[in-house]
Amino acid sequence: MNKHLLSNEELTMRLRQVGEQRYHDKHPYHVRMHEGKLSPEQLRAWVANRFYYQKNIPVKDAIILSKLPSREERRHWIQRIVDHDGTDGSEGGIEAWIRLGEAVGIPREEMLDERHVLPAVRFAVDAYVNFCRMQPWLIAVASSLTELFAPVLITQRIAVFEQLYPWIRPEGLEYFQARLHQAPRDADHGLELVLRECKDRGEQEQVISALHFKCDVLWAILDALSLAYPDAEAQR
């Protein structure tokens, strides 16, 4: 059995492999979204359900914040909460996602009252928050590393929405534009912490498993959407 401590390069490669194999861009629902094949109803369902993920991100980041061992790391991490919850004069990601909802035709109150949120989406997102609640901070931080893979995908998504879904009002894309600089910054910090703090091979394997778990959360959200909003061809 090969139990040596992985080098930073090796660990980074193992983490990237998890994304290459299991990130949600490979899910059929997501593939169809990026091929321009989702119906307006399917796209609205994705936006309304992803809102439950978005609104819980700062909650799980507050949980991680409370566990971080140093002032320096908390100073860094708190920015994630500000990015989503906003501050005076800058509304933040949750508001931007509500506007994305409006831009695809979902009234604000329908986003806020969660009427479109599927039970399995709720369970998947709650599992992510609870994972971060229960696990040591290093493992919780590692579960956020799907953000390593998000910038490429979000860059594509902006172009896809503009070109293949021209009925989406352009102001809806502001959320994704903001993530283009927030996500790489967050991913770099998360990866730096993981590489620096993993002390043995056991911990290294645990952070890889945490990323695996997180990919499963994102995958399960899309499984739920596929079941509730099947393709027109599949219904025939």
Query: Which residues contact ligand PQQ by CB under 6 A?
Result: 57, 144, 146-147, 150, 153-154, 179, 218
Compute the distance between CA of residue 50 and CA of residue 54 in angstroms, rounded to an integer.
6
The residue (of 104 and 150) whose beta carbon lies closer to ligand PQQ is 150
H helical segments located in 23-70: 28-34, 40-67
The residue (of 54 and 204) whose beta carbon lies closer to ligand PQQ is 54
State the virtual CA torsion across 114, 116, 118, 121 in degrees, nearest 10: -60
Nearest to 48 by CA among 124, 103, 127: 103
Compute the distance between CA of residue 194 and CA of residue 176 in angstroms, rounded to an integer.
26
Least distance to ligand PQQ, CB of residue 179, Å = 5
Compute the distance between CA of residue 163 and CA of residue 118 in angstroms, rounded to an integer.
28
The structure tokens listed for 122 are: 């709720």
The residue (of 116 and 179) whose beta carbon lies closer to ligand PQQ is 179
Least distance to ligand PQQ, CB of residue 9, Å = 22
Least distance to ligand PQQ, CB of residue 106, Å = 17
Compute the distance between CA of residue 31 and CA of residue 96 in angstroms, rounded to an integer.
24
Least distance to ligand PQQ, CB of residue 57, Å = 5
Least distance to ligand PQQ, CB of residue 26, Å = 12
The residue (of 184 and 201) whose beta carbon lies closer to ligand PQQ is 184
Compute the distance between CA of residue 108 and CA of residue 64 in angstroms, rounded to an integer.
29
Least distance to ligand PQQ, CB of residue 5, Å = 26
Which residue of the chain is nearest ligand PQQ when measured via CB?
146
DSSP state of 89: T
Nearest to 70 by CA among 11, 8, 138: 138
The residue (of 118 and 190) whose beta carbon lies closer to ligand PQQ is 190
